[in-house]
Structure 1
Amino acid sequence: MDINSDMGEGFGAWEMGNDALLLDYITSTNIACGWHAGDPARMKKLVEMASKKGVHIGAHPGLPDLEGFGRREMAISEEDAYNYVLYQAGALKAFVNAIGKKLHHVKPHGALYNQAARDMKLARGIARAVKDLGPEVILYGLAGSCMIDAAKELNVPVWQEVFADRKYTKEGFLVPRSQAGAVIENESEALNQAIDMSRNGKVTAIDGSEIKIQADTLCIHGDNPHAVEFAKKIKAALI
């Protein structure tokens, strides 16, 4: 089981917060590329740190929305989605190549991720961009969503992603953050959900129903103040 975390969602190469500590407990990092957060200094620093730790390096492209942290939906086309992802991931790939490494994956951020999970056209745009980044680059997408279908349609390597600290709808989507109970605050509950998804291939939706789910990679949100301790426990439990 791959464990990933979204990183670099600040500015400058200093005050890295949980990012540096989390690299000891995850296997993949998704680095913000400047549009919803992040900047060149932080991208470069995290690429170097992840490389030294042997952590897979991935791009975390979002919508062009610094003020809204990429969490506000936008009306974009398939071609927009392609351009946005190729532009941002291409920038990170340059930093990765500069130290003799290869870009491992792309995981869209926030509203771009959630919109593409439901919209096949946007999902295709993202999958096309990932394909053009190189045949070895993997798309990380919401398990069972349009992103998985688009990747398979275009023969793009894909890992289905699940979340320990987010509630699911009965359709298998993430409950919007604006809805009460969308984020799981209780550590034990989040840990149990992670284990259930990884070992048993199922998750309990917010309405109490049980849905099947494929878990190739598990996301831990690094902006949680308890993220490092939680990552330690998740890693130990999965091992």
Structure 2
Amino acid sequence: MSTIDLNSDLGEGFGHWTLGDDDALLGVVTSANVACGFHASDPLIMRRVCDRAVETGVAIGAQVGYRDLPGFGRRFIDIEPEALAADVMYQLGALDGFARASGSRVRYVKPHGALYNTIVHHEEQAAAVVEAVTAYDRTLPVLGLPGSAWLRLAGEAGLTTVQEAFADRAYTPEGTLVSRRLPGAVLHDKDVIAERCVAMATGQPVTDVEGGSLTIEPASICVHGDTPGAVEIARAVREALTAAGATLQPFA
């Protein structure tokens, strides 16, 4: 392990509603998955997060999702592929405009929530998201779950694919994320989380939800910004990775 990226979902408030501490997390992570207004965020929040990301040297990524503000993008939507591709392009263009006004640009794409999990296996929707990215800017790397249809189709389309792991989420034996509806899906002990992240980053196995061993080799690790204690968790993960000899830097 020489370099690793640490990413977090940011800009997920809406109007007067605040979720997470974006400013604090931008002082810890190396890449920011910024909500683009469909599952969370609004123009003012997007502008503020992009400004702060540029100030702190954090890479800006588009966190695209279903059009689902009430459900925070965590509900599956059986949407036509053409419409999904258009929705993703819309979100990319919106965030890229704010990023460029702040002196940067969108540097990668990461689907959010239910869309992220759906396109692990849903070929049609995965292809629609790939279509949107290639149409908008085929130089953009895409972030996703190892073994997903999303990364496979993106690679076949010539996009740069980046494998990620989740610091604070439990895994099934198949390497997918345990549903948030189930107990134990989200981890909270920062020391346990930090230890798991070092193991994942160094190619060592971690324990899946059924007690088995699972090996993940990520180029980026995600700490969710809406997890209770997210800032403390992110700091613990960064400190543990640094202590293990890693250099933290954006992959894009």
Aligned to 1:145: 148
Aligned to 2:116: 113
CA distance in 2, matches of 1:50, 1:211: 33
Gaps in structure 2 of 5+ consecutive residues: 243-252
Secondary structure of the corresponding residue to residue 196 of structure 2: helix
CA distance in 2, matches of 1:216, 1:71: 25
CA distance in 1, matches of 2:189, 2:142: 29
**Aligned residue among 196, 200, 205 for 1:197:** 200
CA distance in 2, matches of 1:18, 1:92: 19
Higher relative contact order (CA 8 A, sep 6+): 2
Tell me how large the CA RMSD over aligned residues is.
1.7
Aligned to 2:247: none
Secondary structure of the corresponding residue to residue 138 of structure 2: coil
Gaps in structure 1 of 5+ consecutive residues: none
CA distance in 2, matches of 1:95, 1:161: 25
CA distance in 2, matches of 1:179, 1:16: 22
Q: CA deviation at 1:214?
A: 2.4
Establish whether residue 89 from structure 1 lines up as the match of residue 83 from structure 2: no
* Amino acid paired to 1:207: E
Percent identity of equivalent pairs: 42
* Amino acid paired to 2:92: A
CA distance in 1, matches of 2:227, 2:186: 11
Q: CA deviation at 1:62?
A: 1.3
**How is 1:209-220 mapped onto 2 (pairs within 5 angstroms)?**
209-220=212-223
Give the conservation status (yes or no) of the 8 Å contact 1:13–1:45. no
Aligned to 2:250: none
- When the two structures are superposed, what TM-score results if normalisation uses the length of structure 1? 0.94
Establish whether residue 102 from structure 1 lines up as the match of residue 105 from structure 2: yes
Change (3 A) 1:17 1:211: closer
Give the conservation status (yes or no) of the 8 Å contact 2:12–2:19. no
Aligned to 1:40: 43
Give the conservation status (yes or no) of the 8 Å contact 2:188–2:228. no
Q: CA deviation at 1:132?
A: 2.3
Secondary structure of the corresponding residue to residue 90 of structure 1: helix
Aligned to 1:71: 74
* Amino acid paired to 1:36: H
Secondary structure of the corresponding residue to residue 170 of structure 1: coil
Q: CA deviation at 1:140?
A: 0.9
CA distance in 2, matches of 1:143, 1:231: 22
Aligned to 2:11: 8
In the comparison of the two structures, how many residue pairs are matched? 239
Give the conservation status (yes or no) of the 8 Å contact 2:62–2:92. yes
CA distance in 1, matches of 2:90, 2:111: 13
Give the conservation status (yes or no) of the 8 Å contact 1:32–1:43. yes
Secondary structure of the corresponding residue to residue 202 of structure 2: helix
Give the conservation status (yes or no) of the 8 Å contact 1:70–1:111. yes
Q: CA deviation at 1:77?
A: 3.1
Aligned to 1:226: 229
Secondary structure of the corresponding residue to residue 119 of structure 2: helix
**How is 1:166-205 mapped onto 2 (pairs within 5 angstroms)?**
166-205=169-208
CA distance in 2, matches of 1:203, 1:172: 11
CA distance in 1, matches of 2:148, 2:99: 29
CA distance in 1, matches of 2:160, 2:84: 18
Q: CA deviation at 1:202?
A: 3.4
Q: CA deviation at 1:134?
A: 1.7
CA distance in 2, matches of 1:100, 1:57: 11
Give the conservation status (yes or no) of the 8 Å contact 2:109–2:140. yes
Aligned to 2:23: 20
